[in-house]
Amino acid sequence: MNCLEFKEKLHSAVEAHRPPAGDDLAAHSRQCPDCLREWNEYQLLTQAVAAWNDTAPAVDLSDSIVSRWLLETTGPVRFPSALSSDENVSPTSPEKAALAPESFLFQRRSAGRLRARQVFWIPGGLLLMFFLLIRQGGSPPENSFVSKNPPQIESETSWATAEPPLPELDTLLQDVESGYWELANSAVHTVSDAADLLPMRRVGMNGAPLGWPALMPSSPFSETTNPAPSKDDPSGPLSQGFSKALNLLLEVVPATELPTS
């Protein structure tokens, strides 16, 4: 065997994951320093790889991987191993095969339906109770089974009787009339004051006429000295308008006795 054959045999054995056959490789390596060095390297690496492969620790990640996958795809799911002791089944039993995965999907669907029912029924029940309580708080209809004159103890324990009574229609109408009267009264006072104010501007404190202040030299008011209203008096139409408004308001106000409030 020459060196070329030695290298070919050694490399083919390495690539095939098998030890080199025969003793001719070892025999040749004892005659050639280069081949001996390569032979020793091969021996050393073979021993190191064998020792190195023994150091790999064991691991069991199937549960965490599958649970993470199911969490990623469908959401949280309980595995049979996570069930309680009375629910747990043997891994080899056919019950487990019958359980998974349809039973888990069924459990998930059932839980979803239950949640949907809760979402609809709880607010519905609360709304029904609310309407019933409001109905009991008001006056019962004629054909109602609720007593018109309930016992005192029942009215004390009922929260609806503790509420202030609803305003009656007569009270509402009285309030509206009072509001209208107050509005008309203030309007009358306003118009009366305005009507009284205009002649006061024309008369001084001692009863002497003052006339209109001269706003401008060319103003028609500057030449006015006569206290009696004339046709040229610009306050005439205003006074007449006030008088008409006052008369109209006095006609509008009812002649009956007005409420005091």
Partner 1 sequence: MFFVGGSSRIEWGSHVIQDDADVIALCLEGDVDAMHQLVERYQSAVFGLCFKILGHREDAEDTVQDVFLRAFRNLAKWDPLRPFKPWVLTIAANRCRTALEKRSRQARNIDGSLDTIDAGPSSRQSDRTDLGEELDLALKKLRTDYRICFILFHQQELSCAEIGDMLNCPVGTVKIWLHRARKELAEHFTRRGIVPEGHYELPRI
Give the residues lining the site for partner 1 (CB under 8 A): 15, 17, 26, 29-30, 33, 36, 39-41, 43-66, 68-70, 72, 77, 79, 91-94, 96-97, 100-101, 104
Nearer to partner 1, 43 or 219 (CB): 43
Query: Alpha-carbon distance 134 to 163, whole Å?
Result: 11
Nearer to partner 1, 72 or 142 (CB): 72
* Least distance to partner 1, CB of residue 68, Å: 6
Nearer to partner 1, 97 or 210 (CB): 97
Nearer to partner 1, 90 or 206 (CB): 90
* Least distance to partner 1, CB of residue 85, Å: 21
Q: HEC profile for the chain?
A: CCHHHHHHHHHHHHHCCCCCCCCHHHHHHCCCHHHHHHHHHHHHHHHHHHHHHHCCCCCCCHHHHHHHHHHHHCCCCCCHHHCCCCCCCCCCCHHHHHHCCHHHHHHHHHHHHHHHHHHHHHHHHHHHHHHHHHHHHCCCCCCCCCCCCCCHHHHHHCHHHHCCCCCCHHHHHHHHHHHHHHHHHHHHHHHHHHHHHHHHHHECCCCCECCCCCCCCCCCCCCCCCCCCCCCCCHHHHHHHHHHHHHHHHHHCCCCCCCCC
* Least distance to partner 1, CB of residue 129, Å: 44
Nearer to partner 1, 44 or 126 (CB): 44
* Least distance to partner 1, CB of residue 65, Å: 5
* Least distance to partner 1, CB of residue 135, Å: 52
* Least distance to partner 1, CB of residue 27, Å: 11
Nearer to partner 1, 63 or 175 (CB): 63
